[in-house]
């Protein structure tokens, strides 16, 4: 069964450094998303991406964040100048075009900022 | 703004039926989702409702009333492996999901 994959599974970085989180969505999906979940808190929407552009972003997704689809398979989230409060699990999700609406989540990348 | 409310915790016995309620207030509503999340894992899709009524899928059913901003997830014949957090999420106009805080269900033997 096709699945969303994410790398790395765990990333440790120092405050102020830049990180890139990588995702490979399901191959026939056209809508892509990033969510984050701080430990013990709810899943929060960051950004949605369709047709090579951002379609919606939350208040969390400020200038520190950017997304890119550099080729036909990868979808990346870049966090510039990381802060301690960026420590969280970051989930990538994708959904197909047309009637399919369920979003399939990847296993997540645990980001720890020290 | 977006607001999703669901109970924090519920406990039920193996073999029983449990109903997890969710109320929502969102703009640009495009459907209501239920996800299951085990500790340390990603959410997994359970159900989707966009029209009023009941959707049944094996041991799981989900109900939606758009006029009342209300949904519930019904789990039948509970099994120990159903112990998890159940997340109610409303889909917005750009398909983004706004999640509730989750209901931690504990199934007792």
Q: pLDDT (tens digit, 9 = 90+) per residue, A54-97? A: 999 999 999 999 999 988 789 999 999 999 999 999 999 999 86
Q: In the predicted model, what is the mean pLDDT of residues B101-109? A: 97
Residue position matching structure tokens 């430990």:
A39
Report CB contact under 8 Å: A103, B98.
Answer: no
> Of how many residues is chain B composed?
109
Residues of chain B with C-beta less than 8 angstroms from the C-beta of A105: 35, 42-44
pLDDT digits (tens, 9 = 90+) for A8-53: 999 999 999 999 999 999 988 989 999 999 999 999 999 999 989 9
| CA A30 from centroid of its chain's CA atoms | 15
Check residue B45 and give its pLDDT. Answer: 94
pLDDT higher than threshold 60 for residue A99: no
- Whether A26 contacts A3, CB under 8 Å: yes
- Whether A42 contacts B100, CB under 8 Å: yes
- Asked if omega into A109 is within 30° of 0 (cis), the reply is no
Hey, of A25, A51, A103, which one would you mutate to test binding to chain B, going by the most B CBs within 10 A of its CB?
A103
Check residue B11 and give its pLDDT. Answer: 98
pLDDT digits (tens, 9 = 90+) for B13-23: 999 999 999 99
Greatest alpha-carbon span in chain A: 43
Contact residues for A102 (Cβ-Cβ < 8 A; gap 6+): A95, B33, B45, B48
Q: How many angstroms separate the CA of residue B74 from the nearest CA in chain A?
A: 19
pLDDT digits (tens, 9 = 90+) for B31-60: 999 999 999 999 999 999 999 999 998 999
pLDDT higher than threshold 90 for residue B68: yes
Residues of chain B with C-beta less than 8 angstroms from the C-beta of A100: none
């Amino acid at each position: 069964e096709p699945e969303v994959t994410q790398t790395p599974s765990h990333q440790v970085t120092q405050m102020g450094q830049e990180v890139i989180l990588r995702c490979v969505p399901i191959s026939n999906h056209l809508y892509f998303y990033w969510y984050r979940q701080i430990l013990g808190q709810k899943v929060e929407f960051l950004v949605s991406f369709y047709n090579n552009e951002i379609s919606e972003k939350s208040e969390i997704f400020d200038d520190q964040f950017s997304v890119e689809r550099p080729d036909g398979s990868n979808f990346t989230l870049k966090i510039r100048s990381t802060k301690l409060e960026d420590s969280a699990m970051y989930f990538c999700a994708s959904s197909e075009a047309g009637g399919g609406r369920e979003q399939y989540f990847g296993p997540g990348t645990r980001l720890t900022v020290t | 703004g977006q607001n999703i409310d669901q109970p924090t915790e519920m406990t039920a016995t193996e073999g029983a039926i449990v109903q997890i309620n969710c109320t929502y207030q969102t703009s640009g509503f495009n459907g209501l989702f239920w996800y299951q999340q085990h500790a340390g894992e990603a959410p997994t899709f359970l159900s989707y409702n966009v029209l009023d009524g009941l959707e049944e899928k094996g041991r799981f059913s989900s109900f939606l009333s758009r006029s009342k901003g209300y949904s519930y997830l019904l789990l039948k014949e509970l099994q120990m492996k159903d112990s998890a957090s159940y997340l109610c999420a409303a889909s917005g106009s750009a398909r983004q999901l706004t999640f509730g805080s989750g209901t931690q269900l504990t199934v007792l033997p």
